[in-house]
């Protein structure tokens, strides 16, 4: 005896209710994670935005022999405490380099002390009452205001917050990433090509495969120890250099690149390989002319994501000495250098509130670079995909 529609519908009601419940639960999970992301990013923007602004003061600067000997004499005594020491220090040299300045008095915007900066941003009030009055007067005259902080993007670290910038760390990151990429992209891709296209399927290759997968899950700080032991202690690579940092990060990124390249190679249909073998290609010709071009977008995507991960890494770099106070950017790959996440780490441990905003600002720059890299990965994938 078969069931009527009414009977079946009665049973179905419960199943449909369960579907609806699951739908709401899964959607809730999505909303929750989206909310986390929004809160995190907006908090970073709110905290980090002030780092992109810097108080500046318009004042008369007199370039003469007295100020060459005693740079503080270049500006009026009452404005003097409001101006960054970082402005005075290079004055004598500027005059030496530019003799035309000698004997002139110029009205210009100069960088303010971080106490002024923080006061104008409403963060903390460490100014003396007399200086505060002077500053008030300047603000009313429009001679003291927050301007876009170019210093942050053009200098290295400094003990004076108003002079500290992300530039040398950014250059260090670029150098380190170049080393990492130069080492792990060719080695990783070739390893994957061997394992996927040439190696016989036996116990040994299976053991290698399992261990490569395990390597991808090893805590990154262990790679730092390995880098210290091998590169610095054994090979004598200079500590704190982009070379040692890049090589250490290459160790960490290698398994990621191998795994993603293998996945990309495996997704190439065998019919393409058979077609190529059928017309008399050697194994390498099959790989070079047919398999690699098709799998290139996947390989690039995986490699860029691996590099982006390495770019945000701090732990292994602490061990090889890249978390350090580096005021000047070094262009050489063997010079002392630091990277962006390490710079953020250094700022985060400063008690001064002016450095707190630098920390958040640095995170924003790092996030922007990472988002750019991921966008590049997506773009590359779309550009090379389905070109047949």
Partner 1 sequence: MNDTTLQNFQTQQDSPTASESAVRTSYNEAPTPNKGQPVTRNESVEENLSVRVRDLSLWYGEHQALDDISIDIFANTVTALIGPSGCGKSTFLRCLNRMNDLISSVSIKGLVEMDGHDVNARGMDEVALRRRVGMVFQKPNPFPKSIYENVAYAPRMHDMVSRKADQDELVERALRDAGLWNEVKDKLHEPGTSLSGGQQQRLCIARAIAVRPDVILMDEPTSALDPISTATIEDLMDKLKKDFTIVTVTHNMQQAARVADYTAFFHLGEMIEYNATKQMFANPHTKKAEDYITGRYG
Q: Is 105 in the site for partner 1 (CB under 8 A)?
A: no
Residues 272-301 that bind partner 1 (CB under 8 A): 272-282, 285, 289-290, 293-294
**Three-class DSSP category at 97:** helix
Q: For partner 1, give the closer residue by CB, 77 or 270.
A: 270
Number of residues that bind partner 1 (CB under 8 A): 22
Residue of 265, 246, 263, 250 lying closest to 188 (CA atoms): 250
Work out the number of other CB atoms within 10 angstroms of the CB of residue 122: 8
At its nearest, how many Å lie between partner 1 and the CB of residue 196? 14
Q: Please choose, out of 24-32, 149-157, 206-214, 268-276, the segment that lies near partner 1 by the rule CB under 8 A.
A: 268-276
* Of 2, 4, 271, 349, the one binding partner 1 by CB under 8 A: 271
Q: Please choose, out of 163-171, 176-184, 219-227, 267-275, the segment that lies near partner 1 by the rule CB under 8 A.
A: 267-275
H runs (alpha helix) in 145-241: 151-154, 167-193, 203-215, 220-227
List Cα–Cα distances, 81 to 120, 136, 231, in angstroms.
Answer: 15, 14, 48
At its nearest, how many Å lie between partner 1 and the CB of residue 376? 23
Distance CA 248, CA 180 (A): 8
Distance CA 312, CA 360 (A): 15
Q: For partner 1, give the closer residue by CB, 147 or 274.
A: 274
Question: What token pair was written down for 226?
Answer: 């390995």
Q: For partner 1, give the closer residue by CB, 15 or 386.
A: 386
Q: For partner 1, give the closer residue by CB, 200 or 351.
A: 200
List Cα–Cα distances, 252 to 87, 203, 216, 224, in angstroms.
Answer: 42, 25, 7, 9
Phi-psi map region of 386: left, alpha, beta (phi>0 left; psi -120 to 50 alpha)? left
Name beta bridge partners: 146: 55
Contact yes or no for 340/310 (Cβ under 8 A):
no
Residues 225-264 that bind partner 1 (CB under 8 A): none
At its nearest, how many Å lie between partner 1 and the CB of residue 209? 16
Q: For partner 1, give the closer residue by CB, 94 or 274.
A: 274
At its nearest, how many Å lie between partner 1 and the CB of residue 369? 33
Torsion of CA 93, 146, 158, 80, to 10 degrees: 50
Distance CA 301, CA 379 (A): 9
At its nearest, how many Å lie between partner 1 and the CB of residue 203? 13
At its nearest, how many Å lie between partner 1 and the CB of residue 285? 6
Q: For partner 1, give the closer residue by CB, 142 or 200.
A: 200
Count Cα atoms within 13 angstroms, Cβ side, for 126: 12
At its nearest, how many Å lie between partner 1 and the CB of residue 383? 15
Question: What token pair was written down for 248?
Answer: 């250490």
At its nearest, how many Å lie between partner 1 and the CB of residue 337? 43
Q: Which spans of this chain sit near partner 1 (rule: CB under 8 A)?
A: 200-201, 269, 271-282, 285, 289-290, 293-294, 387-388
């Amino acid at each position: 005896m078969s069931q009527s529609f009414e009977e079946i519908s009665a049973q179905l009601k419960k199943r449909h209710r369960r579907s609806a419940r699951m739908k709401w639960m899964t959607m809730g999970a999505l909303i929750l994670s989206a909310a986390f992301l929004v809160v995190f990013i907006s908090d970073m923007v709110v905290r980090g935005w002030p780092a992109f602004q810097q108080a500046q003061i318009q004042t008369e600067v007199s370039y003469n022999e007295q100020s060459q000997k005693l740079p503080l004499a270049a500006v009026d005594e009452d404005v003097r405490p409001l101006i960054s020491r970082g402005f005075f220090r290079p004055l004598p040299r500027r005059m030496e380099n530019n003799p035309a300045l000698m004997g002139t008095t110029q009205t210009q915007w100069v960088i303010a002390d971080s106490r002024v900066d923080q006061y104008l941003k409403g963060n903390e009030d460490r100014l003396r009452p007399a200086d505060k009055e002077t500053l008030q007067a300047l603000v009313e005259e429009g001679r003291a205001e927050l301007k876009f902080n170019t210093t942050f993007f053009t200098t290295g670290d400094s003990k004076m917050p108003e002079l500290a910038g992300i530039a040398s760390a950014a250059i260090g990151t670029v150098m380190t990433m170049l080393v990492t990429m130069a080492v792990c992209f060719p080695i990783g891709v070739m390893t994957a090509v061997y394992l996927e296209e040439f190696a016989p399927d036996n116990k040994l290759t299976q053991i290698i495969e399992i261990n490569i997968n395990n390597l991808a899950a090893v805590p990154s700080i262990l790679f730092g120890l390995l880098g210290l032991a091998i590169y610095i202690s054994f090979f004598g690579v200079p500590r704190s250099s982009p070379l040692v940092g890049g090589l250490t990060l290459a160790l960490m990124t290698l398994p990621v690149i191998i795994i993603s390249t293998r996945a990309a190679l495996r997704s190439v249909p065998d019919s393409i390989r058979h077609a190529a073998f059928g017309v008399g290609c050697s194994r390498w010709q099959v790989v070079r002319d047919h398999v690699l071009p098709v799998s290139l977008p996947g390989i690039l995507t995986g490699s860029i994501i691996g590099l982006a991960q390495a770019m945000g890494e701090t732990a292994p770099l602490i061990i090889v000495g890249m978390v350090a106070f580096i005021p000047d950017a070094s262009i050489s790959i063997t010079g002392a250098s630091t990277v962006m996440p390490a710079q953020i780490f250094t700022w985060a441990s400063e008690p001064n509130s002016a450095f707190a905003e630098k920390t958040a600002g640095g995170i924003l720059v790092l996030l922007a670079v990472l988002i750019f890299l991921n966008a590049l990965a997506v773009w590359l994938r779309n550009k090379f995909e389905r070109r047949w």
